Amino acid sequence: MTPKDVLALAKEKGAKQLDMRFADVPGLWQHVSYPITELKEDTFEEGFGFDGSSIRGWAAINESDMVLLPDATTAMIDPFFDVTTLTMIGNVIDPITRQRYDRDPRYIAQKAEKYLATTGVGDTCFFGAEAEFFIFDNISFDSKQNEAFYFIDAEEGRWNSGRRENNLGYRPRYKEGYFPVPPMDHYQDLRAEMVETMIACGLDIECHHHEVATAGQCEIDQRFNTLVKSADNMMLYKYVIKNVAYQYGKSVTFMPKPLYADNGSGMHCHQSIWKGGQPLFAGDGYAGLSQMALHYIGGLLKHARALAGIIAPTTNSYKRLVPGYEAPVNLAYSRRNRSAACRIPMYSASPKAKRVEFRPPDPSANPYLAFAAMLMAGLDGVLNKIDPGDSLDKDIYDLSPEEMKAVPSMPGSLEEALGCLEEDHDFMLKGDVFTEEFIETYISYKRKNEADAVRLRPHPYEFSLYYDI
């Protein structure tokens, strides 16, 4: 769309409000609304002023004035607001220099795409992200100086099988929720409405299904797209899912591990590089990969521990990334084997389908930062011809202790992941995609507000373990 197209769309749909959106550093959409009369053709060059000092991970109070420039290509009519509202994603700029703001996650993703083109390796990076989520009926939580708790309930939760009243059974067993038909799958109709709303918003959806865990774990798969567009789509995906569920009186979380002793939610990321409309990851090497693809894998594996601070960016992420459980913490690659961090899907022999699936990320990640960081790691592998080593085609969880010692693994905590990112981030600074200042600010924010904040608080289970000591 052009600015004129956007104004025509607003008029055609009778829009009365404009809603501008952007992502903070942790990865939540923020928004500000205006009467539609405030949107004119020159607005796309002048933008809207706003205060950025209260946005998480952003400017200090002395440099808080910022400007949102509407991106006409993201325009759509919001499907949830009662008042007809046109929405657009905004690019953040400095009002004095008129330069892009370095802490805007979308700008970082846009710089990563531009850097790819400058390397000559390719001109397009495609991402296909599979974000899983839970649908709950009730959630409450609090943390104070003298108490801390959470309580989750879901009609579909296996723990409700013993309920005496209003109980019709049909609840997935723990770790056995993958693909059952209704009535065991309670959320076919709800997911279908989510999908139809996404399609109406312009998303390209491939399939949807129940996932492994009980209590409403689900997945809806989007078709791959270019890096920035895929990140934009992931933000919209989360927005639609949460709001459709809310209209049904239910709550959705993309928290990676909300339930103890059942599967967590991942965000497996399929990646490939193309040039001139041709796929570059297909070849005659292992699993039908090109040498470029193997080097890309080498980059992902070499930098995976540093990537962890961005692709698995919460303390809760490391309740999912646990050795011996469902998540791939071991840094190896394999065709078909889902216990490897890098998997090469073998569904199709078409060169266009050849890609690498990186499995450690989870949906708590900011998609702009996560996709950009993964591309930078993969490109470092390609440019420096990093050997990924030998493939690992047997079940990693069946390896002997001696064999396991030779397989590196993901960090075991957010604090460890941030330490790895602190030590290994030069590959992210190439092309000024990430800046040293942004990395330092990100690590400081995560340590103070998340890692330390959780570490310093007594855990409820510690009272079960230690109160009588």
Choice among 223, 338, 455, 459 that is catalytic: 338
**Whole-angstrom Cα distance, residue 410 to residue 305?**
5
d(CA 43, CA 29): 21
Active site residue 462: no
Contacts (Cβ under 8 Å, ≥6 apart) of 177:
185, 210, 211, 212, 213, 214, 217
Residues in the chain, overall count? 469
Distances (CA, A) of 191 to 138, 156, 217, 218, 318: 18, 14, 11, 8, 28
Catalytic residue among 186, 268, 343, 355: 268
Q: Which of 38, 41, 51, 395 is catalytic?
A: 51
Is 211 marked active-site?
yes
Q: Terminus-to-terminus CA distance in the chain, angstroms?
A: 66
Catalytic entry in 155, 219, 262, 380: 219
**Active site includes 359?**
yes
Residue 363: which of 323, 320, 331 has the closest Cα?
A: 320
Q: Does 268 participate in catalysis according to the annotation?
A: yes
Active site residue 132: yes
Catalytic residue among 270, 320, 355, 359: 359
Does the annotation count 468 as an active-site position? no
338 catalytic? Reply is yes
Residue 437 designated active-site: no
| Both tokens assigned to 441 | 């600010």
Q: Which of 24, 71, 155, 211 is catalytic?
A: 211
For 64, 349, 380, 441, 451, the CA distances from 59, given in Å and listed in that order, are 6, 48, 30, 10, 21
- Catalytic residue, chosen from 71, 130, 262, 362, is 130
| Catalytic residue (one of 24, 104, 113, 357) | 357
The answer for 409, left when phi > 0, alpha when psi is -120 to 50, beta otherwise, is: beta
Under 8 Å between Cβ of 343 and 351: no
| Residue 343 known to be catalytic | no
Backbone angles phi, psi at 35, to 5 degrees: -60, 145
The residues assigned a catalytic role are 51, 130, 132, 211, 219, 268, 338, 357, 359
